Amino acid sequence: PPHLGIDLSKDISPYIPEIPDEPATSVPLPGGMVLVSKYLPWRIHISSSSVRHLVVALYTALRTRVTEEELKTVGGTGVMRAYAKRVEGMGEEERRKGVRRVDFLLGYTMFVGVEATDETGAWKICL
Q: So what's the pLDDT on residue 13?
A: 94
Q: So what's the pLDDT on residue 23?
A: 86
Residue ranges per structural domain of the chain: 6-126
Q: So what's the pLDDT on residue 48?
A: 74
Question: 21-27, long-range: CB within 8 Å, 24+ apart, which pairs?
Answer: 21/50, 21/51, 21/52, 21/53, 22/50, 22/51, 23/49, 23/50, 23/51, 24/49, 24/50, 24/51, 24/53, 24/54, 24/114, 25/49, 25/114, 25/116, 25/123
Q: So what's the pLDDT on residue 72?
A: 86
Per-10-residue mean pLDDT for the chain, 127 residues long? 83 91 81 93 88 94 94 87 92 90 96 92 94
Q: So what's the pLDDT on residue 73?
A: 84
Name the pTM for this structure.
0.89
Q: So what's the pLDDT on residue 32?
A: 86
Q: So what's the pLDDT on residue 121?
A: 86
